[in-house]
Amino acid sequence: MASSDLVTTCLSSAVHYVICKLGFEKKEIYDIDNIVSENGEVHWQAITEHVHYLESDQSVDYIKSIRSLGPVCESVNLHFKSLTKEKFIVQYALWFHWTNYTELFLEVFDVLHYARSTEVALGLMKLTSCLERALGDVHLLIGKDCPFLLRDLLASEELAVVFGRVVMDVLRIFIGSPYGLNLRNVLWHGFASPQEIPAKYCAMLLFLTAGLGQLLQTYLLQTKYILVHRPYVTFIRLEELDAFPDLNHETLSVAEELVQASNFVLRTMLSFWTAALTAFKQSRYADCVILLLPQLEVGLRLLFTTTNKCPNRLLTAESSVFYTTFDEMLAKHLDNEEVNQLPSVLEEPAMEFLWDFLNHQEGPRVRDHLSHGEINLKEFPRQIANQLVAFAITLLCRFSDEDMVTFKEHLVIKPLMNCASCYRSRFHPISRLKKQVLECMKSICSWRELPTVSEEHIQTIKGLEGSTEASTLVLKMAEILSQLQQYLPCNCYSSDDPMNPVATERLLLQLCDSHVCTLYSPRPVLEVLVVLRKISTQCHQVSEQVIASIKSRYQQWTEKTLRSRQRHNYLRMLNSIKFLSPVLRLILVLITLELVNVHLVCKKNPSDYHQYVKFLKSILQYTENLVTYTSPEKNKWDETMQLTNKALIKIRKFSDGKLTLIQSVK
């Protein structure tokens, strides 16, 4: 890894000039009374007159505009510094209500008074993400779908209708366009160090947000529309994220030493790392993660550019070139189609962790949600911050000089390194399917504990000849499993009773514990996983419906509130369970065996692949029909028998042809 001491900036010379120098070239100071009234009303004309346009196509001339707006930003900054907090609240607080987070903007005002560069940068990151979310809410007053990218949102017709096109151009000069200052992106992607972000731009965005609030109020009064704020995204299943132990004070103290010594940390970014660890210790978990994520991106970018021998990619791209961000660094190939070397350097567990926390659709996607303002910062969970800080500590350790063995062997660091080395994906579709299978199996196993009437009662029903048919179906299932016996782990198979529930459960546990590669799954694999997951979901639905029906009918039976026909139906249901439990378990075994060998689907020719997917979809159709027939509304228990018989014939035929993935294992 290249020495992090040698890097003095991550801004290219052109971007550095635009952010750090261009807005300082004009020295005059404007009279603040021309920009804002005494009661805090923003005079937009005094701002928009500094927006310049190119003669060629009337698009914004960003260079001229930034140069012209520089003194306006300075005047606003001096104005805010001259105000007391009380005066600021009286003049401006009302105009931040539209953002749904007034307190944040009051905090940013405090930060401007201290002008500590790291806090200014953090304030800007929070302000821009909150502003983006609020602008999205305004967009939805008129539009149906809110653009995902900030640049598309700012360029939308909807916002131009509410605020005016030239006002949106002012915003685009500061955020959202790679041709402008692009403050949000250079900070969130870790390109700018704290000292490279002028405080006056933070002051200006604070001021503009208040001005937007004033324009919005006028629009709402004219149209009688009501601004509705979208609910925040909440992180669910937090327990699934626990890969690392809880960090204590001693671990954090060692981490602070590591930050000072590790090659993973750029010296210019040191204060960001220190501030992130301080925020964690102070229970400011959102601040911690907002500071940390860009630094993980910087450290990985340094690693990425070193391993792929492209040092120029460490700098911010020009507006016409691709940024090197997480998305590209975690990809399998570089943009020139060569293999990305970073995954092999990071190794699979670290790549799995990054994909889980940042990319997988069912994972927390922490960076996306935070940077787009979708998270309530006041309620950010400690668990997520804990996992990210712990992971960061392992990277600090791994990518440091050889003489740092003492850190790696430290009593509080070693457990973290061990956890990192054996991390497995939790949010890839393969991992989700494994979890689904085990939850479904648990549900089916609980049938054994359900209250039921005696076997004699079932036999007394005239015309209920299904008992022998149920036994025949179970026999067919046992034959199918016997056929697959040679492919199963020997210690999990019961040749005496292939459909034994305990043996099935043990088999599924062992299969789900086996490692299946999740990184860079090809399209055919993902397509098959979609169908397998749907099958598993339907099986679970059937199980839950059966459980609910048995409980409610048994209660009615004991209370003698069932009519004659309902009693018959209840006993038919109990009879059906004799084959429904085994067939659901058989399907779980089949889809789990396919899951374990899912990458073999890529070896099938197009015709065989088509036939294979068609077969899986027929199983899905069967399970969907089972859901319908076993629902409280339908109660078609005899029909489930005929359905099951047809499904078993299909499975047997497919198995006889040795067309399943498990049978193609050499």
Q: How confident is the model at residue 46 (pLDDT cuts 50, 70, 90)?
A: very high
Query: Alpha helices of 495-636 — where are they, by DSSP H?
Result: 501-513, 523-558, 564-596, 606-629
pLDDT bin (cut points 50, 70, 90) of residue 459 is low
What's the pLDDT at 323? Answer: 66
375-381 long-range contacts (CB < 8 A, ≥24 apart) are 375/232, 375/233, 375/286, 376/232, 376/234, 377/101, 377/104, 377/126, 377/286, 377/287, 378/286, 380/285, 380/286, 380/289, 381/235, 381/238, 381/285
Round to whole Å and give the CA distance between 10 and 192. 6
Average pLDDT for 249-273: 94
Q: Does the pLDDT of residue 462 top 60, yes or no? A: no
CA distance linking residue 439 with residue 146, whole number of Å: 36
Residue 236 is predicted with a pLDDT of 87
Tell me how crowded residue 312 is: count the other CB atoms within 10 A of its CB.
10
Q: Tell me the three state secondary structure of residue 191.
A: coil
Residues facing residue 575 across a β-bridge:
none
How far apart (Å, rounded) are the C-alpha atoms in residues 587 and 640?
A: 15
Angle between helices 62-82 and 13-20 in degrees, nearest 10: 40
For residue 228, what pLDDT band results from cuts at 50, 70 and 90? very high
Mean pLDDT of 463-488: 79
> What one-letter code names the amino acid at 82?
S
CB of 654 closer than 8 Å to CB of 660? yes
| pLDDT at residue 141 in the model | 97
Look at residue 339 and give its three-state secondary structure. strand
Contact 125, 290 (CB under 8 A): yes
d(CA 340, CA 331): 7
3-class SS shares of the chain: helix, strand, coil, % to 5: 70, 0, 30
Cβ-proximal residues to 623 (8 Å cutoff; 6+ apart), any chain: 535, 538, 539, 542, 587
pLDDT band of 617, cuts 50, 70, 90: very high
Q: In the numeric block, which tokens belong to residue 279?
A: 């925020």
Phi and psi, residue 145, nearest 5°: -110, 130
In total, the chain counts a number of residues equal to 666
pLDDT at 499: 73
End-to-end CA distance of the chain: 41
pLDDT digits (tens, 9 = 90+) for 638-655: 899 999 999 999 999 988
Cα separation, 499 vs 579, whole angstroms: 10
pLDDT of residue 76: 97
Residues 611-634 as b/e (b if ≥16 CB within 10 A, e otherwise) read ebbebbeebbebbbbbbbbbeeee
Least confident of 35-44, 207-216, 312-321: 312-321
d(CA 341, CA 361): 24
Q: How does residue 560 score in pLDDT terms, banded at 50, 70 and 90?
A: confident
Contacting residues for 366 by C-beta, under 8 A, at least 6 apart: 289, 293, 357, 358, 384, 388
With 90 as the cut, is the pLDDT of residue 43 above it?
yes
Q: For the residues 264-274, what does the mean pLDDT come to?
A: 96
- DSSP letters, 26-66, are ------GGGTB-TTS-B-HHHHHTT--B-TTT--B-HHHHH
- Nearest CA-CA partner of 253 in 410, 373, 367, 41: 410
pLDDT for 65-119, tens place per residue?
999 999 999 999 999 999 999 999 999 999 999 999 999 999 999 999 987 899 9
Looking at residue 336, what is its pLDDT? 85
Mean pLDDT of the chain: 91
Query: Left if phi > 0, otherwise alpha if psi is -120 to 50, otherwise beta: which for 100?
Result: left
- Which pLDDT score is estimated for 648? 95
**Residue 332 burial by CB count (10 A; 0-12/13-18/19+): exposed, middle or buried?**
exposed
On the 0-12 / 13-18 / 19+ scale of CB atoms within 10 A, 293 is buried
Output the six-digit token pair for 635: 């109660």
Q: Using pLDDT thresholds of 50, 70 and 90, give the confidence band for residue 139.
A: very high
CB 181 within 8 A of CB 173: yes
SS3 of 427-458: the string is CCHHHHHHHHHHHHHHHHHHHHHCCCCCHHHH
Q: What are the tens digits of pLDDT across the range 327-356?
A: 889 999 988 889 999 999 999 999 999 999
Quote the pLDDT of residue 412: 87
With cut-offs at 50, 70 and 90, classify the pLDDT of residue 401.
confident
User: pLDDT tier at 372 (50, 70, 90 boundaries)?
Assistant: very high
Rounded Cα–Cα distance for residues 518 and 522 (Å) = 10
What one-letter code names the amino acid at 588?
Answer: L
